[in-house]
Amino acid sequence: MSLQFQEEDFMGIDRFFQEAVYHDDTSLNAASSIEVELYEHEYMYPTFARVARESGNEEVASMFDAIAREEGEHAELLRKLYPQLEVKDSPETLEAKRLVAEIESQMKVVATDPRGLKRALETALEVESIEATKTYPAFAALARSQGKEEIAQAFDEVTRSEVRHMHWVQKALDRLCTAA
């Protein structure tokens, strides 16, 4: 897992984005994916939903809630295919969780500054774009090349969901920027 940094880091929002790490072993890709999807489900998107809600944007908050729910479903789908995997937090995930807690502790500032919701949407767009166009398609291709069609199909399903999330977030960001 690697933490990603964007150019403008507002209140640490950008610094708690991470992505699954590519391995030549499909089971390691699944473990990394489960870890990232659970992080997004339990920490990142609920925090983004709170930023949106406290910024007065219930529509975006509901979108983040829906994405969080689906990220949990992705983790569950992969867990069912790999029930034996031990998934534990990497140092990067622990750092990302610490940053989420820091943002939560400063929520009043984040939610009242127009940059807060915009940075949450921009970060979500980056996350979903990478997952939809890079991470999960690569994981599916590797699984297929290793003759693991059921795993490849699961990664394909996750890819389709991430593409949908990417479009949702792009529309929300466009609406926010148009309204500003």
pLDDT band at 117 (very low <50, low <70, confident <90, very high): very high
- Measured distance CA(79)–CA(175) in Å, rounded: 36
Q: pTM for this one?
A: 0.90
Report the run of H or E that residue 18 belongs to, with start and end. Answer: strand 18-19
What's the pLDDT score for residue 102? 86
The CATH T-level fold of domain 2-6+14-179 is Ferritin (1.20.1260)
What's the pLDDT score for residue 173? 96
pLDDT band at 89 (very low <50, low <70, confident <90, very high): confident
**One-letter identity of residue 6:** Q
- 44-64 pLDDT tens trace: 999 999 999 999 999 999 999
Residue 19's DSSP bridge partners are 2
Q: CA neighbours within 13 Å on the CB side: how many for 157?
A: 14
> Does the structure show a pLDDT above 50 at 1?
no
What's the pLDDT score for residue 12? 62
pLDDT, the chain, mean: 89
Q: Looking at per-residue confidence, does 163 or 13 come out higher? A: 163
Residue 43 and residue 152 in contact, taking contact as beta carbons nearer than 8 Å:
no
Q: Tell me the domain boundaries of the chain.
A: 2-6+14-179
Q: Looking at per-residue confidence, does 7 or 108 come out higher? A: 108
- Measured distance CA(14)–CA(86) in Å, rounded: 28
